């Protein structure tokens, strides 16, 4: 792959040299001439940077194309408008100033530009030259421009597409910039009449990750990460906030929010008493419902001075008692979704909200319905069940334990052997036992890890029915679970009626007693006359 990239760059260089030869020697002659040509060409090469790598500062030469990062993507359909800069309106330098720190703001009428470095401000008249869209090769070209300085404005990005003709969203436009056409070459001995510039757009990233998407239960703590792009010239922005409003099934762990730079170092003030950012609850919400990290001007300057390309916010959230659903009424299933948000405002008061991707964490639920042999829910009496993670554990009565608060499950402990060991301290925990409801014959185990096997034991059968006697298996990785991807397993538990044994007492016993009395009486009647005769 590296050899192929190197070969591509060599071919590009050969093509550029060929284009110069074929195009004539005008540009080359201008390089050795101290007198600027009367006209020149301007070519804009448009790229989207998709990572933190940026090429070196441009020189205006076509060979700068070789310095573009391999990961940069050419963009077509981006509109640039070029304005010829005229004289200052009042006492400014004859040539518009440039260099680090200078910004160029076009007025609404499009006939003046304000140049400012934060200290000095000058206004210049401008006249629109023309607007052009970048083509499929990512370039737009103006030829035969009269000698002078030009303001370049990225005027419309709504039609941006990549080389595969797919729409591309540009979150932050390229700042307005000024270019001289023709342009003095770097060594100062001549002129470049074929100016090439490479304005880039950084892909503004706001990504969210969670360390566990499954294998967790109520009471477990999740580790989240939000990564966001530090915008170009971030010190000039008025707002840069990273926030996360948590799902109702998650509680923010107190003091868990930490802010880091992309290099892994925590973003801390360099002076005692100085703050770079604040961490506050979501407006109008309880502290457990989320947070907002807001950078202040000192913090934004720090990000820029230190060259941070990304800000990383890490925090923890605990799965709470609300990670429960009613399968019949909740179409989304037992999945905890969550998104973060990046909000920034530039110096022109333009605010952008960018949501992160959505993370999903699955929590399992087992719904049992007690039915008779005809599949009718048993409502005459209740049944009870306990649960474990293996058949051996279930038979050894090593059941899953839970902790309750206000009648709700707030923590779950799993057996690790059949001798009473668990994966956490089980003080104030009890065996997880559920009881069916007489209204519908249903009961639910909630807040369970998935996808793993469970074994359920019936600990009480409804009146008139037999206990099952053996643990039965619930498999979260089978088709029953996958058909709706809800991580809710529904199972009908069938009980047989108890055997009917003969009744003790009753008419049968009375008949025997009567028969016995009759026999005794007959015996007496036979024996007694014989005694009298004797």
pLDDT digits 0-9 by tens, 136-171: 999 999 999 999 999 999 999 999 999 999 999 888
In DSSP terms, 208 is beta-bridged to 226
Residue where the block lists tokens 């005459």: 380
pLDDT at position 332 is 60
- Indicate the pTM of the whole model: 0.73
Could you tell me how many helices (H) and strands (E) the chain has, helices first? 6, 36
pLDDT at position 532 is 47
pLDDT at position 18 is 38
Contact 227, 310 (CB under 8 A): yes
**Which parts of the chain sit beneath pLDDT 70?**
1-32, 51-56, 187, 262-266, 269-274, 327-333, 477-488, 495-534
Strand arrangement, sheet containing 39-45? 139-146, 39-45, 194-197
**Cα–Cα distance for residue pair 534/520, rounded to 1 Å:** 22
**Cα–Cα distance for residue pair 120/299, rounded to 1 Å:** 24
**Cα–Cα distance for residue pair 414/417, rounded to 1 Å:** 9
pLDDT at position 3 is 41
Structure tokens at 446: 């909630």
Beta strands 194-197 and 39-45: pairing type?
parallel
The H-assigned helical ranges of 24-132 are 26-31
Residue 413 region by backbone torsions, left for phi larger than 0, else alpha for psi between -120 and 50, else beta: beta
Structure tokens at 61: 């030469």
């Amino acid at each position: 792959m590296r050899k192929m990239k190197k070969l591509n760059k060599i071919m590009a260089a050969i093509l550029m040299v060929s284009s110069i030869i074929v195009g004539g020697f005008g540009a080359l002659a201008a390089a050795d001439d101290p007198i600027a040509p009367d006209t020149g060409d301007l070519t804009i090469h448009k790229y989207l940077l998709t990572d933190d790598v940026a090429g070196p500062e441009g020189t205006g030469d076509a060979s700068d194309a070789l310095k573009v990062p391999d990961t940069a993507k050419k963009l077509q359909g981006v509109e640039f408008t070029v304005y010829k800069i005229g004289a200052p309106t009042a006492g400014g330098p004859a040539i518009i100033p440039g260099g680090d720190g200078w910004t160029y703001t076009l007025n609404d009428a499009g006939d003046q530009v304000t140049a400012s470095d934060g200290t000095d401000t000058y206004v210049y008249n401008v006249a629109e030259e023309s607007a052009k869209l970048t083509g499929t090769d990512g370039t737009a070209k103006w030829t035969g421009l009269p000698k002078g300085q030009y303001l370049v404005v990225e005027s419309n990005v709504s039609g941006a597409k990549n080389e595969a003709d797919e729409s591309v969203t540009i979150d932050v436009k390229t700042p307005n910039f000024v270019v001289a056409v023709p342009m003095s070459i770097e060594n100062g001995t001549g002129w470049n009449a074929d100016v090439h510039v490479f304005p880039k757009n950084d892909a503004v990233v706001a990504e969210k990750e969670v360390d566990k998407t499954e294998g967790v239960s109520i009471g477990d703590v999740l580790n989240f990460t939000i990564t966001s792009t530090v915008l170009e010239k971030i010190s000039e922005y008025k707002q840069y906030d990273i926030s996360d409003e948590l799902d109702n099934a998650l509680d923010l762990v107190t003091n868990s929010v930490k802010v880091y730079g992309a290099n892994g170092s925590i973003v801390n003030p360099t002076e005692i008493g100085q703050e770079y950012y604040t961490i506050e609850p979501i407006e109008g919400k309880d502290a457990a419902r989320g947070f907002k990290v807001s950078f202040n001007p000192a913090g934004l300057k720090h990000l820029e001075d230190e060259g941070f390309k990304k800000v990383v916010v890490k925090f923890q959230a605990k799965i709470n008692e609300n990670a429960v659903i009613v399968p019949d009424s909740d179409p989304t299933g037992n999945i905890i979704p969550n998104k973060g948000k990046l909000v920034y405002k530039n110096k022109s008061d333009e605010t952008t909200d960018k949501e992160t991707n959505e993370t999903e964490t699955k929590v399992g639920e087992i719904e049992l319905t007690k039915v008779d042999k005809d599949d009718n829910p048993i409502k005459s009496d209740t049944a009870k069940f306990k649960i474990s993670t293996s058949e051996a554990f279930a038979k050894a009565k090593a059941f899953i334990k839970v902790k309750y608060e206000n009648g709700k499950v707030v923590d779950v402990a799993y057996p690790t052997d059949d001798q009473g060991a668990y994966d956490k301290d089980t003080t104030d925990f009890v065996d997880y036992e559920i009881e069916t409801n007489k209204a519908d014959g249903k009961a639910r185990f909630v807040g369970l890890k998935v996808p793993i096997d469970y074994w359920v034991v019936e600990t009480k059968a409804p009146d008139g029915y037999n206990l099952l006697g053996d643990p039965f298996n619930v498999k979260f990785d089978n088709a029953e679970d996958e058909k709706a991807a809800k991580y809710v397993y529904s199972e009908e538990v069938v009980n047989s009626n108890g055997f009917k044994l003969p009744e003790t007492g009753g008419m049968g016993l009375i008949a025997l007693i009567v028969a016995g009395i009759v026999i005794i009486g007959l015996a007496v009647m036979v024996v007694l006359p014989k005694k009298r005769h004797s």
